[in-house]
Amino acid sequence: MKFDIYDLGSFTSSFDQLLMENFSPFWAVAIEMVIIGIAILAFYAVVGLYLVYAERKVCAFMQCRVGPNRVGPYGFFQTIADLIKLLMKELIPIKNADKLLFNIAPFIVIIASFMAIAAIPFAKGLHAIDFNIGIFYIMAVSSMGVVGILIAGWASNNKYSMIGAMRSGAQIVSYELSVGLSLVTIVVLAGSLQLSTIVEGQRDGWFLFTGHIPAVIAFLVFLVAATAETNRGPFDLAEAESELTAGFHTEYSGIKFAFFFLAEYMNMFIVASIAATIFLGGWMPFHVGGWEAFNNIMDYLPPVFWYIGKTAFVIFIMMWFKWTFPRLRIDQLLTLEWKYLLPINLVNILVMAFVVLMGWHF
């Protein structure tokens, strides 16, 4: 038995064919878009809520505490209670704020992460759209989120918000270079920008292991740069409570604050998904060359379980970062990128290109 039995491409194709037979092409596509939109919206809400719960539990574990333990078993419904509280909170108008931009900013941040999720392959045949430039697309749309952050800081008419937004802009723009170059390193190895093709290329071994030392270096750089790009500790200078109150979202309340809060966790999920897809084989099971019995056992696990497990592993590492290291200063943050990570990335790409040219990878 192979993991091809879990190929969802045949199901999605038959469903598409069913709609095309019963509706006009316009309405068939419209119905598909609505279904996919609702599915992504529900997934976004559920994952975002329970990443907050996971963060609290991991934080408690690191600090020898219990964490949420009152609302539901083991505090499982605590984040739902928090969501209800935020929905019921008053939206406080800011007297001298630019009202149009102030209200649009949270939606820009949310929409950017929505668009990125659409291209992520959750299992074989289970992705909203499979671009042949998938990595380029995800990098492009995810970088739009910083526009919402800058607008939020400027439109709030608050010096703390403005400083937080400027810090966030400098941080995200800087670390996007390292994120992009670490992904380019694997693109050189895979020979494709298409995410499904990259995953298929890891059928006999994940790139983290088959790409030798350059792939390991790219993975480590990606983890550090992605943590910084999502404004998470120890790189959360944009929200430094001791300096800037809450940073760029200081003036936001209620559901608008919830949008920023949710987007941060979904951005963490997105970068963890990219790491799992590019470096750890995505939904591909773990195979060892020559171990057919072991490989067959691995094939029985559904691909979506592999994807979720790998993504959860990367998310745990990012949470571990946050609750282990102290916050950096802004000058240390930018020095790390421009003096260390960027040169390492540039050299690493050249080394990977040489390894691929010589055929030294597995």
Of 333 and 246, more confident: 333
Give residue 220's pLDDT. Answer: 94
Give residue 1's pLDDT. Answer: 41
Give residue 160's pLDDT. Answer: 84
The mean pLDDT of 33-44, rounded to a whole number, is: 87
Of 119-133, 241-255, 279-293, which range is least confident? 241-255
Residue 313, pLDDT > 90, answer: yes
The alpha carbon dihedral of 151, 170, 51, 327 has a sign of: negative
Residue 346, pLDDT > 90, answer: yes
Closest by CA position to 220, among listed 333, 59, 345:
345
The Cα 232–Cα 333 span in angstroms is 12
Give residue 361's pLDDT. Answer: 65
Measured in degrees and rounded to the nearest 5, phi and psi for residue 123 equal: -165, 175
Contact 284, 303 (CB under 8 A): yes
The mean pLDDT of 339-358, rounded to a whole number, is: 91
Give residue 5's pLDDT. Answer: 54
Q: Would you call 34 exposed, middle or buried from its count of C-beta atoms within 10 A (0-12, 13-18, 19+)?
A: exposed
Closest by CA position to 330, among listed 147, 164, 156, 158:
164
The Cα 117–Cα 108 span in angstroms is 15
Provide DSSP, 248-317: GGTT--HHHHHHHHHHHHHHHHHHHHHHHHHTS-TTPPP--TT-HHHHHHHHHS-HHHHHHHHHHHHHHH
pLDDT in tens, 289-312: 677 777 778 878 888 888 999 999
The Cα 222–Cα 297 span in angstroms is 31
Task: Enter the tokens of residue 24.
Answer: 């006009």
| Percentage of residues in the chain having pLDDT higher than 90 | 19
Residue 2, pLDDT > 50, answer: no
Give residue 216's pLDDT. Answer: 92
Give residue 242's pLDDT. Answer: 63
The mean pLDDT of 3-13, rounded to a whole number, is: 67
Q: Rounded to two decimals, what is the model's pTM?
A: 0.88
Give residue 351's pLDDT. Answer: 92
State which of 86-90, 123-127, 220-224, 243-247 shows the largest mean pLDDT.
220-224
Residue 130, pLDDT > 70, answer: yes
Q: 240: pLDDT confidence band, cut at 50, 70 and 90?
A: low
State which of 20-29, 31-40, 145-154, 343-352 shows the largest mean pLDDT.
343-352
Of 17-31, 203-217, 240-254, 330-344, which range is least confident? 240-254
Residue type at 114? Answer: F
Of 291 and 52, more confident: 52
Chain-centre distance of CA 355, in angstroms?
Answer: 29
Q: Which residues pair with 123 in a beta bridge?
A: 126
Residue 244, pLDDT > 90, answer: no
Residue with structure tokens 């060359």? 289
Q: Which residues pair with 126 in a beta bridge?
A: 123
Give residue 209's pLDDT. Answer: 85
Closest by CA position to 138, among listed 124, 126, 128, 153:
128
Residue 243, pLDDT > 70, answer: no
The alpha carbon dihedral of 11, 15, 16, 17 has a sign of: positive
| Percentage of residues in the chain having pLDDT higher than 70 | 94
The Cα 286–Cα 300 span in angstroms is 11
For the chain, the average pLDDT equals 85
